[in-house]
C-alpha cells in the first residue's frame, strides 16, 4: 500500500473530500496522525498480520511508510471509540492498479481479530468510497490471497462478490467487487 504526501483538500488525483472522519457504532476511521505511526508500524512488521501480504516490511520500505502515511489521502487509522486506541488501518486508493478501479485494503492488529471491527471499518470505508470517491466507475474492489479465508469471509459478508482470480507475488489471489447496490448500510 503506497503512501504519498497529501494536502488537506482534494485534487484531481484524489477525488472526494479529504480529510474526512467516518464513524460506526464502535469505531472512528480518521486520517492517520503522527501518534498512530507506532501502532501502524506494528501492523507492517507483524508476521501474522503480514502472512498473506508478502511478509513483514523492513528497512527503507518501512521507513517510507512511516513517513508517508500521516494524512495520506484515503488512509484511515481505525480507532476504538471507547479509548481512542488504534486497532488497525483501512485505505482507499481511488485509481488503483486494478484497472483504475477504487481499491480498499485493511489490516487489524491480531488482538482485535474476531471482534467485528474489520467488517465495521471496511463497510464504512467502502460506503464512503462509493459515495464520495468513485466517479466514472462506481465500483470498489478488494484483493486478498485465495488462502486468506478470514479476509474472503469478511468481503463476502459485506456483499462483495468474487470477480477474478489470478497469480501475483507467486500466490493465488482473488478479487472481490461491489457497487452502490451491494454494500450494507453503515450503522
pLDDT, the chain, mean: 89
Could you list the residue range(s) of the whole structural domain that residue 59 is in?
22-179
Provide DSSP, 134-176. Answer: --SS-EEEEEEETT-HHHHHHHHHTT-EEEEEEEETTEEEEEE
CATH code of the domain containing 36: 3.40.630.30
Neighbours of 40 (CB within 10 A): 22
Query: What integer pLDDT is reported at residue 27 of this predicted model?
Result: 98
Is residue 165, in this structure, part of any structural domain at all?
A: yes
Query: What integer pLDDT is reported at residue 38 of this predicted model?
Result: 97
Is residue 15, in this structure, part of any structural domain at all?
A: no
Is residue 186, in this structure, part of any structural domain at all?
A: no
66-113 pLDDT, tens per residue?
A: 999 999 999 999 999 999 999 999 999 887 777 778 899 999 999 999
Q: Per-residue pLDDT averaged across 53-66, rounded? A: 96
pTM exceeds 0.75, yes or no? yes
Domain count, the chain: 1
Is residue 17, in this structure, part of any structural domain at all?
A: no
| Length of the chain, in residues | 187
Amino acid at each position: 500500500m503506497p503512501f504519498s504526501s497529501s494536502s488537506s483538500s482534494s485534487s484531481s488525483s484524489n477525488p472526494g473530500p479529504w480529510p474526512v472522519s467516518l464513524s460506526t457504532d464502535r469505531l472512528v476511521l480518521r486520517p492517520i496522525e503522527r501518534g498512530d505511526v507506532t501502532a501502524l508500524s506494528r501492523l507492517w512488521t507483524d508476521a501474522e498480520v503480514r502472512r498473506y501480504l508478502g511478509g513483514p516490511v523492513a528497512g527503507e520500505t518501512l521507513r517510507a511508510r512511516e513517513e508517508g502515511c500521516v494524512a495520506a489521502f484515503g488512509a484511515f487509522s481505525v480507532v476504538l471509540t471507547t479509548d481512542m486506541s488504534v486497532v488497525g488501518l483501512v485505505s482507499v486508493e481511488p485509481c488503483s492498479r486494478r484497472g483504475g478501479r477504487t481499491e480498499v485494503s485493511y489490516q487489524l492488529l491480531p488482538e482485535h481479530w474476531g471482534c467485528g471491527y474489520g467488517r465495521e471499518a471496511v463497510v464504512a470505508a467502502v460506503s464512503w468510497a462509493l459515495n464520495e470517491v468513485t466517479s466514472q466507475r462506481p465500483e470498489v474492489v478488494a484483493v486478498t490471497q485465495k488462502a486468506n479465508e478470514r479476509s474472503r469471509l469478511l468481503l463476502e459478508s459485506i456483499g462483495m462478490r468474487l470477480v477474478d482470480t489470478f497469480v501475483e507475488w507467486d500466490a493465488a489471489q482473488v478479487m472481490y467487487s461491489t457497487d452502490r447496490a451491494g454494500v450494507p448500510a453503515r450503522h
